[in-house]
């Protein structure tokens, strides 16, 4: 697990290139505290920071092919590297290390950019081919590992985190108003855009090839499969899911350093931990956190599962210094990022890092198998909108206080099914005459619903459950969930692995019709059948709980001054919001007329991130907040 950075095409001296690529890597040293490595030659500079996991002694990067003409820097893990190595050795390749990184240069020799489709793993890498002065960068299928780039007339720059770009060329980076609009709507900036103008994220399942003659060419090497028709034999599907789950978890256990797992007590993390217990040597180490506020505390559920599965369990009761941790975590992300569950995710990562270097996570199961309540709740509403009368009732509903009985039902009556889904994943915005986002009162989500539809292939039009999961897989999963896991774990130099996003399991799950994954009132139908007997029965009957934080209490307490301060936004924030509209949001929220927690949190995070950007903190590794002492059980 590492961080990578570099550039190609720039006509600068080798001495200057070496200095610049080192500066880029210094900004992400938290991603790899164990070692660094560089390759600098005419027209190219590659760098990396290494967190040693596999072949700790011999896997230093960059790594080269036999004659030194191919060079790679790599972030991630290749879980099928043993099989690939055997195949490559049989065809005559010679290996110098035991690391998974080395298979990349030899695969490239044989298959060129087509090598990417042979990889099972989480990865972002850059391969320099000195024979034709070309660069290949690629990102894994679901976006577990980040990779951004910026192309100019001089050449191309790439990096794991945008803070490397900022450390290199802060004067060239400008915040994109349209990206701010997307952030305020989604709570993150969806791929392929970034918060900076001219800077792109390489989308999941894509690769990019660059050479001086043709510039950068983007290619999509993987498209999520669609369901192949009605379910023929349900039991065969259940058996296959069970087998693929087991294989996925087993493949993710290779490590030369201590390994454990995050455990919340829910379906996904409990499944991962239970299957780890079948294959791991010794007791599995598990980690969980809870809040002093009982309604947000999942630690009892996690503790119960840990006891039944016999894990070596450690938990932390979180009583955060909210002001300190808010500022630290807002600045921890290289873009504005408003998922407040980043706080407990960071806390459990920091807790785990005191004992292990690798932790398995249960993320991805909800998007694959239909775990979010928004799926079955949207399905429950059935057909399209109720026409003109429905729209009038929607307008009436929006005028009512947030907690008024029946308000949400009135609001939904005038929406299409896509509008209903969109309302669960975005915050509505108003645009000014220049197209700039302005945080405003709740309103329609039609323009966002139209944007979301572009991710859906025509053949999924009748399978609305699959369509919703497909959108989440290509937007919410990489933009929110995996970004949160990557940045918070890497901030403490912890490798987080996501076995439920194993390539074979993903492809298989997406081929199951939506009705097999979620129905009205029942989530993860086939998944639940597959894990029965693997996880404790209590897990199957326990209601789903999100990884939430007590925002309402914090807004009335330690963060109230930040909410009040939004009435007079900072000069940086004022560029993107309507001051009067934000003032109304604050007033309505504080008197209890409507719950604007989500939008207020996004505005607070944006304000804090813009302040960090102004102060130059983005070009430095994140500053970690202090956490309370852990309680072991």
pLDDT value at 274 more than 80:
yes
203 with 316, same domain: the answer is: no
The angle formed by the CA atoms of residues 420, 417 and 363, to the nearest 5 degrees, is 65
Report in angstroms the alpha-carbon separations of 492 from 157, 264, 332, 346: 26, 20, 11, 8
629 — pLDDT class (breaks 50, 70, 90): very low
Helix, strand, coil in percent for the chain, rounding step 5: 45, 15, 35
pLDDT in tens, 406-438: 566 666 666 677 777 877 888 766 534 333 344
> In this predicted structure, what is the pLDDT of residue 141?
97
For 36, the domain range is 2-220
Domain with residue 494: its CATH number is: 3.40.50.620
Which residue do the tokens 């929110």 mark? Answer: 480
> Are 624 and 561 in the same domain?
yes
- Average pLDDT rounded to a whole number, residues 490-513: 95
Residue 307 within a domain: yes
Tell me if 504 is assigned to some domain: no
Q: Which residues have C-beta within 8 Å of that of residue 629, sequence separation ≥ 6? A: none
- Predicted pLDDT of residue 397: 64
- pLDDT of 59 > 70? The answer is yes
Q: Which of these three, 190, 220, 250, is where a domain ends?
A: 220
Q: Is the residue at 450 inside a domain? A: no
Percentage of the chain lying above the pLDDT 70 cut: 87
| Banded model confidence at residue 578, pLDDT cuts 50, 70, 90 | confident
pLDDT of residue 318: 78
| Whether residue 583 is found in the same domain as residue 523 | yes
**8 Å CB contact between 448 and 600:** no
Last residue of a domain, one of 189, 220, 251: 220
Last residue of a domain, one of 205, 220, 235: 220
Report the domain count for the chain.
Answer: 2
Query: Looking only at Cα atoms, what is the longest distance across the chain?
Result: 73
Q: Do residues 151 and 268 share a domain?
A: no
Does 308 share its domain with 246? Answer: yes
Contact 343, 320 (CB under 8 A): yes
**68 located within any domain:** yes
Please check whether residues 112 and 6 belong to one and the same domain. yes
- Decide if 19 is catalytic: no
Report the C-alpha gap between 451 and 543 in whole angstroms.
32
Residue 432: what pLDDT?
42
Q: Residue 26 has what pLDDT?
A: 96
Q: Are residues 181 and 258 in the same domain?
A: no
| Lowest-confidence pick of 67-76, 425-434, 487-496 | 425-434
Q: Indicate which CATH number applies to the domain containing 136.
A: 3.60.20.10
- What per-residue confidence (pLDDT) applies to 627? 60
Asked, for residue 315, whether it belongs to a domain, the answer is yes
Q: Does residue 391 fall inside a structural domain?
A: no
> Do 56 and 171 share a structural domain?
yes
Residue 311 lies in a domain: yes
Cα–Cα distance measured from residue 22 to residue 243, given in angstroms and rounded to the nearest whole number: 45
- Of the candidates 464, 240, 507, the residue with the CA atom closest to the CA atom of residue 364: 507
Task: Assess whether 238 and 299 both reside in one domain.
Answer: yes
Q: List the catalytic residue out of 2, 25, 159, 608.
A: 2
Q: Looking at residue 581, what is its pLDDT?
A: 87
For residues 211 and 264, membership in a common domain is answered with: no
506 domain residue, yes or no: no
The 10 Å Cβ neighbour count of residue 405 is 7
Residue 48, Cβ density class (10 Å: 0-12 exposed, 13-18 middle, ≥19 buried): buried
The confidence score (pLDDT) of residue 222 equals 96
631 or 565, greater pLDDT: 565
Helix axes 322-332, 342-353, angle to 10 degrees: 90
Nearest CA-CA partner of 364 in 262, 235, 280: 262
> In this predicted structure, what is the pLDDT of residue 631?
46
Whether 488 has a pLDDT exceeding 70, the answer reads: yes
284 and 140 within one domain: no
> The tokens of 212 are what?
């001086």
56 and 43: one domain? yes
């Amino acid at each position: 697990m590492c961080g990578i950075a570099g550039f190609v095409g720039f006509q600068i001296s080798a001495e200057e290139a070496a200095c610049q690529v080192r500066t880029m890597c210094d900004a992400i040293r938290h991603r790899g505290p164990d070692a660094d490595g560089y390759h600098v030659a005419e027209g190219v500079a590659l760098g990396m920071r290494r967190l040693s996991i596999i072949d700790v002694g011999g896997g230093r990067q960059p790594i080269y092919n036999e004659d030194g003409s191919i060079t790679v820097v790599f972030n991630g893990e290749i879980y099928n590297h043993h099989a690939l190595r055997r195949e490559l050795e049989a065809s005559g390749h010679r290996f110098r290390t035991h690391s998974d990184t080395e298979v990349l240069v030899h695969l490239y020799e044989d298959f060129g950019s087509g090598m990417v489709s042979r990889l099972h793993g989480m990865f972002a890498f850059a391969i320099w081919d000195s024979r034709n002065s070309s660069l290949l960068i690629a990102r894994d299928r679901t976006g577990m590992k980040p990779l951004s780039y910026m192309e100019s007339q001089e050449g191309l720059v790439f990096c794991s985190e945008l803070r490397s770009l900022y450390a290199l060329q802060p004067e060239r980076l400008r915040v994109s108003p349209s990206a701010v609009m997307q952030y305020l709507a989604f709570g993150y900036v969806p791929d392929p855009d970034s918060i900076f103008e001219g800077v792109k994220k390489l989308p999941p399942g894509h690769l990019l090839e660059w050479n001086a003659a043709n510039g950068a060419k983007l290619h999509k090497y993987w498209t999520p499969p669609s369901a192949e028709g009605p379910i023929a034999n349900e039991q065969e599907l259940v058996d296959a899911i069970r087998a693929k789950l087991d294989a996925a978890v087993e493949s993710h256990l290779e490590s030369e350093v201590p390994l454990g797992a995050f455990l919340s007590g829910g379906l996904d993390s409990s499944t991962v931990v239970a299957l780890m217990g079948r294959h791991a040597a010794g007791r599995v180490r598990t980690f969980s956190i809870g809040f002093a506020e009982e309604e947000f505390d999942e630690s009892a559920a996690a503790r119960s599962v840990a006891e039944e599965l016999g894990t070596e369990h450690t938990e932390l009761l979180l009583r955060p210094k909210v002001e300190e941790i808010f500022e630290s975590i807002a600045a921890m992300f290289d873009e504005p990022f408003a998922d407040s569950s980043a706080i407990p995710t960071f806390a459990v990562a920091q807790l785990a890092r005191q004992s292990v270097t690798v932790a398995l996570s249960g993320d991805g199961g909800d998007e694959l198998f239909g775990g979010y309540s928004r799926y079955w709740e949207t399905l429950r509403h059935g057909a399209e909108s109720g026409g003109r009368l429905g729209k009038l009732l929607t307008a009436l509903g929006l005028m009512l206080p947030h907690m008024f009985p029946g308000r949400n039902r009135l609001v939904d009556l005038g929406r299409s099914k896509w509008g209903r889904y969109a309302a669960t994943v975005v915050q509505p915005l108003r645009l000014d005459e220049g197209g700039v986002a302005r945080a405003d009162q709740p309103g329609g989500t039609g323009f966002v619903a139209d944007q979301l539809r572009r991710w859906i292939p025509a053949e999924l039009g009748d399978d609305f459950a699959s369509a919703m999961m497909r959108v989440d897989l290509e937007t919410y999963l990489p933009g929110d969930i995996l970004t949160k896991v990557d940045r918070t774990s890497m901030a403490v130099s912890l490798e987080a692995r996501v076995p439920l996003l194993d390539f074979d399991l993903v492809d298989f799950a997406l081929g199951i019709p939506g009705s097999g994954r979620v129905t009205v009132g029942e989530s993860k139908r086939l998944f639940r059948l597959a894990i029965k007997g693997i996880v404790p029965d209590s897990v199957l009957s326990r209601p789903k709980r999100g990884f939430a934080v007590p925002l309402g209490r914090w807004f009335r307490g330690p963060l109230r001054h930040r909410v009040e301060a939004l009435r007079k936004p900072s000069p940086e924030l004022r560029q993107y919001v309507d001051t009067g509209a934000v003032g109304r949001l604050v007033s309505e929220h504080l008197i209890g007329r409507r719950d604007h927690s989500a939008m207020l949190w996004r505005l607070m995070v944006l304000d804090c991130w813009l302040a960090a950007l102004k102060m130059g903190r983005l070009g430095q590794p994140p500053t970690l907040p202090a956490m309370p002492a852990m309680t072991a059980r």
